[in-house]
Amino acid sequence: MIGGRVLDASALVAFTAQRSVYAAALVWTAVEESIVLVVPSTAIATAWADLEDKNHPVLEVLGDVDTEPLP
């Protein structure tokens, strides 16, 4: 069994634009505790379109993290 969380576009926007302390807490807790975060490519694309250009580098960093495609 694999545990973890799935981030949708609204969670990505909330974290990236610093609109929600809850989204930030989820992401940073996952990083600190090695919890799996699944980020669908469609969520990244939607968040990219919804965010201002100044927030795009955060999404780029999330895209550069070691990833493994799901089977």
Residues β-bridged to residue 6: 38
Q: Which residue carries 């990219």 as its tokens?
A: 48
Please give the model's pTM, rounded to 2 decimal places: 0.79
The DSSP code sequence of 2-65 is: ---EE--HHHHHHHHTT--HHHHHHHHHHHHHT--EE--HHHHHHHHHHS-GGGHHHHHHHHHS
Instruction: Provide the residue-wise pLDDT of the chain in tens; the chain has 71 residues.
Output: 578 899 999 999 999 999 999 999 998 898 888 888 888 889 988 999 999 999 988 888 776 665 555 55
- Among 6, 28, 19, 26, smallest CA distance to 50 is for 19
